[in-house]
Amino acid sequence: MRRQDLSENSLTLEAIAIASLAILDAEGPDALSFRRVGAALGTSHTTVYRHCGSLDGLLDICVDHLATELPQLDPDLPWATSTEARFVALYDLLNAHPALVALRRERPWLGPRVLERLVEPALQANRKAGLTPEQSIRAYRQMYLFTLGCSVFVDHTDTARAARLVRTALAGLDREDYPALTSDVEVIVAGASDHAVFYQGLRHLIDATMAELPAPA
């Protein structure tokens, strides 16, 4: 990664986010530290720390930077079309930065740009489609948590490794105790890092929510 030389006064949150994401994407979650980010930017780790306040603050800055990559969808699109596009874009973004997702773990994604580019437009679209406030929040949470789970718990970065780990785990099972798992090994292995699981599951959630929409007048 090319080194920048920034003074404390010229150091920006965007520069910190870009440098941090470059480290995470290239070397994984264990490589991120204030010293590494400071070295990449040509400044001290204490200067970076003063801008972030904590490691969680650094991760928040990275998440909010990435949120600018989420699409700004036409509010007049059909609800199902915009909802699918919104969460597919989030899924793609999360999969592009697995190390950041691993470090964030259970922390909510609630930075100002995330709220602006994801949460607010999703809730506005839900309400415009006719969902009640309770239905709107529930639908958003279901799709958000499903998207996050499909990114966090599925290894899309090394599909061969993911398949190998699943096959190894299943190979040690007793056929009498685990007849379903041992008889369908190749099917299970094939789905270990299959994106289709996400796309199909999202469509099911969208279809289930559409069934709650009021009938056209």
CATH architecture of 13-53: Orthogonal Bundle (1.10)
- Per the structure block, which two tokens stand in for 167? 């096959």
| Whether 41 contacts 15, CB under 8 Å | yes
How do residues 74-96 score in pLDDT, each as one tens digit? Answer: 999 999 999 999 999 999 999 99
Q: What's the pLDDT score for residue 205?
A: 98
How many whole angstroms separate alpha carbon 42 and alpha carbon 5?
4
**Per-domain residue ranges for the chain?**
13-53, 70-156+193-210, 159-190
pLDDT of residue 202: 97
The top-level CATH class assigned to 70-156+193-210 is mainly alpha
- Give 1's pLDDT tier (boundaries 50, 70, 90): very low
Angle among Cα 80, 85, 91 to the nearest 5 degrees reads 125
Retrieve residue 190's tokens: 């094939």
Q: What is the pLDDT of residue 8?
A: 52
**Residue 5 pLDDT class (50, 70, 90 cuts):** very low
- Tens digit of each residue's pLDDT (9 = 90 or more) over 144-198: 999 998 888 776 667 777 788 888 888 889 999 999 888 888 888 877 767 888 9
Is this structure's pTM higher than 0.85? no
